[in-house]
Amino acid sequence: MKIIVLVKQVPDTETNIKVGDKSINETGIKWIISPYDEFAIEEGLRLREKNGGEVIAVSLGPDRVQESLRQAYAMGADRAVQIKVDNYVPFDTTLTSELIANFAKSENADVIIGGRQSIDSDSSQVVVQVAEALGIAHIAFAVSLEISGTAVKSTKEVEGGTQVVETSLPVAITAQKGLNEPRYPNLKGLMAAKKKPIETKTPADLGNPTSKIEVVGLEPPPPRIPGRKLEAADAKGFAEQLVKALREEAKVI
Amino acid sequence: MSNVLIVGELKNGELKKISKEITSAGRKIADALGGKVTALLIGSGVEKFAGDLGAVGADSVVTVNAGDFNAETWANLVAGVIKDKNPSVVLLPHTSQGKDYSPRVAVKAGAGIVADVVGLSVDGGKVVAKKPIYSGKAYGNFKVTSPVAIFTVRPNSQEVVQKAGGGAVEAASPAAGDAKVKIVSSDLSGGNKVQLAEASIIVSGGRGIKGPENWPVLQGLADVLGAALGASRAAVDAGWIPHSHQVGQTGKTVSPNCYIACGISGAIQHLAGMGSSKYIVAINKDGDAPIFKVATYGVVGDLFEVVPALTDEFKKVLG
Ligand SMILES: Cc1cc2nc3c(=O)[nH]c(=O)nc-3n(C[C@H](O)[C@H](O)[C@H](O)COP(=O)(O)OP(=O)(O)OC[C@H]3O[C@@H](n4cnc5c(N)ncnc54)[C@H](O)[C@@H]3O)c2cc1C
């Protein structure tokens, strides 16, 4: 079974974001694998452990993404591929998915797994776009996955509950929290990962798709409505003030 | 001509508020671009909602008769209508369903897409979409350069504005195609409660609620307000409530008009999910808790005293 796992490198949540004109200022940023992609890597490894085959970790971006690929190696990936895009725009989902779809096609992948969204752009687009580009099935927000032979069974989160769905390979999956608990890379794995080769592909190798998005500009978040702490003698006093504030000032209730 | 197509969404046979929100947003765009707004509704018996969408700005409504939601067939239906109507702007809901099928629509239409948009404006004949990025620590403005531009819009981010459109209703029957994924069974036992991601008021609890036996304290307030019940990861990880209630980076992103955080410290991962709420109320014993940095109204106090008092007070004024 050939399994492609998508590894997006994103700024650590706790990192301070400084907004530049069309991208963020990268100095001082700590980079991590987008948390949902860790579920994807873990699921890929479990599928391989059960069904055999290989796990290929793929990341798009400049050379810094190799660090995230090494982490995927340390967790147990068999191959790592950097799609080298130096001026990578993390919000350009159509370009990203075309590159990944073309790569997946060249590998004849059976399973493609990514996170349900990346925490820098929150778009929930890439994996399902890849599925459409390849003309294959997709399961979004998977919280369980079983593959035997070519039969695929999964529980997915939907509004108000869950659904059990079935399909057959090839399939693209987006991992929701609950799918598994990602393993930690151990020291031995981390040491070994340093020496493993990272294959590189360029957009030219993958059909040279063009972007359909123009970044007009980035800006800091809008200022919040100024806040204040309420003063009251007791709970009842707080309650009266809050109700008044929410109804007469904010007019939201 | 720059026409706008919006795709509405229903739940349990009812029109969702997001459908009106994006119709109004579509009206604003169409007025700026000099085009018409067509609203698409998929489902059975959906004609009856045409008037509701006409009242908030749809010039015409296209209805497609279909059974239960399936991402693949829905994408085919929407793409079929796009092909037929040839809009330059398409607005879809950024809901669970929207996230499931909108990527397929974008690829089928050869369109660029910007997802989870909270602001829409027009500049030089093109839509500029604004969306929170990096967990709300920045905002980005984007244009789509392909002939069809698709945007998925975050619930509660757009105002519903009454503005009469034309009201013509037309039934269409684009090809639904076959789905490769079959739905075997559904468990929607949580389905009749107020949905977190689209709720306009959320009452949320964290580790400060001490244990699962205390949810009724918050549920009481939520019931009076018609609010959804949210939770921090600490409360979910402790096994006090299912993950579907979790707000935050590894939970749901919410943008209600009012978010009432009870016994939640306000960790950055929690703020990532609720920081764009319009008004935030924080009830916390610790006056230094980070949640007070984003709170519009802060109450330093014990939630077990303040929340019941608040419930009583709301009961009084709301009848
Ligand atoms: C990768 C990653 C992803 C994460 N994703 C999420 C996420 O999606 N959502 C999320 O919420 N967190 C997330 N977290 C966890 C986050 O960092 C915090 O640990 C979590 O939000 C803390 O939850 P809490 O505020 O309920 O608990 P605590 O931080 O323990 O805070 C409890 C608060 O309750 C107050 N309190 C106690 N008793 C009372 C009382 N009687 N009355 C009033 N106040 C009281 C205390 O003063 C305190 O401020 C994530 C963490 C990581 C590392």
Annotated binding site of B for FAD: 207, 232-233, 246-250, 263-270, 284
Give the domain CATH number at B48.
Answer: 3.40.50.620
Given a contact cutoff of 8 angstroms between Cβ atoms, the answer to whether A230 and A245 are in contact is: yes
Residue to probe by mutation, ligand 1, list B196, B233, B262, most atoms within 8 Å of CB: B233
Cα-to-centroid distance, A119 and ligand 1 (Å)? 19
Task: Determine the Cα–Cα distance for residues B39 and B60; give it in Å rounded to an integer.
Answer: 6
pLDDT higher than threshold 90 for residue B165:
no
Do B35 and B162 belong to one domain? yes
Q: In this structure, is the dihedral angle defined by the CA atoms of residues B257, B260, B266 and B267, taken in order, positive or negative?
A: negative
Mean pLDDT of chain A: 97
How many CB pairs below 8 A link A and B? 271
Give the tokens for residue A194.
């340093």
What pLDDT score does B194 carry? 75
* Nearest residue in chain B measured CA to CA from A39: B250
Residues 219-238 of A with CB under 8 A from B: 219-222, 224-230, 232, 234-236, 238
Number of domains in chain B: 2
Phi and psi, residue B85, nearest 5°: -90, -20
Amino acid, single-letter form, for residue A105: K
Residue to probe by mutation, ligand 1, list B210, B265, B268, B292, most atoms within 8 Å of CB: B265
ipTM, 2 dp = 0.97
Do B154 and B275 belong to one domain? no
Task: Determine the Cα–Cα distance for residues A133 and B31; give it in Å rounded to an integer.
Answer: 34
pLDDT higher than threshold 70 for residue A80:
yes
Please report whether residue B260 resides in a domain: yes
What pLDDT score does B166 carry? 77
Please report whether residue B266 resides in a domain: yes
Torsion of CA A177, B280, A124, B98, to 10 degrees: 110
Please report whether residue B178 resides in a domain: no
Measured from the Cα of B304, ligand 1's closest atom is: 41
Do B162 and B205 belong to one domain? no
Phi and psi, residue A59, nearest 5°: -135, 140
Q: Pick from B116, B151, B171: which residue ends a domain? A: B171
Residue B274 belongs to what domain range? 201-318
- Summarize the confidence of residues A70-83 as an average pLDDT: 98
Residues 164-183 of A with CB under 8 A from B: 164-168, 177-178
What pLDDT score does B1 carry? 66
| Percent with pLDDT over 70 in chain A | 100
Domains and CATH numbers, chain A: 2-205 (3.40.50.620), 222-252 (no CATH)
pTM: 0.96
Residues of B with CB below 8 A from A137's CB?
Answer: 72, 180-181
What pLDDT score does B191 carry? 56
pLDDT higher than threshold 70 for residue B190:
no
Annotated binding site of B: 207, 232-233, 246-250, 263-270, 284
Residue nearest to atom 23 of ligand 1 (CA): B234
Give the domain CATH number at B218.
Answer: 3.40.50.1220
pLDDT higher than threshold 90 for residue A215:
yes
Judged by a CB distance cut-off of 8 A, whether residue B315 touches chain A is: no
- Summarize the confidence of residues B9-19 as an average pLDDT: 95
Alpha helix segments (H runs only) across chain B: 17-33, 50-54, 71-85, 96-108, 215-225, 233-237, 268-274, 303-318
Please report whether residue B181 resides in a domain: no
Cβ neighbours of residue A7 closer than 8 Å, sequence gap 6 or more: A33, A34, A37, A40, A41, A57, A58, A59, A65, A68, A69, A72
Please report whether residue B191 resides in a domain: no
What pLDDT score does B319 carry? 79
- For residue range B253-292, what is the model confidence (pLDDT) as tens digits? 999 999 999 999 999 999 999 999 999 999 999 999 999 9
Chain center to CA of B102: 14
Judged by a CB distance cut-off of 8 A, whether residue B146 touches chain A is: yes
In which band, very low, low, confident or very high, does the pLDDT at A198 lie, cut at 50, 70 and 90?
Answer: very high
DSSP class of A116:
S
Q: Pick from B171, B193, B217: which residue ends a domain? A: B171
Judged by a CB distance cut-off of 8 A, whether residue B182 touches chain A is: yes
Do B152 and B281 belong to one domain? no
Do B153 and B222 belong to one domain? no
Judged by a CB distance cut-off of 8 A, whether residue A54 touches chain B is: no
- Summarize the confidence of residues B292-311 as an average pLDDT: 98
Give the tokens for residue A99.
């590159």
pLDDT higher than threshold 70 for residue A62:
yes
Do B129 and B252 belong to one domain? no
Do B154 and B59 belong to one domain? yes
Return the closest-CA partner of residue A44 out of A80, A6, A82.
A6
Please report whether residue B163 resides in a domain: yes
Please report whether residue B190 resides in a domain: no
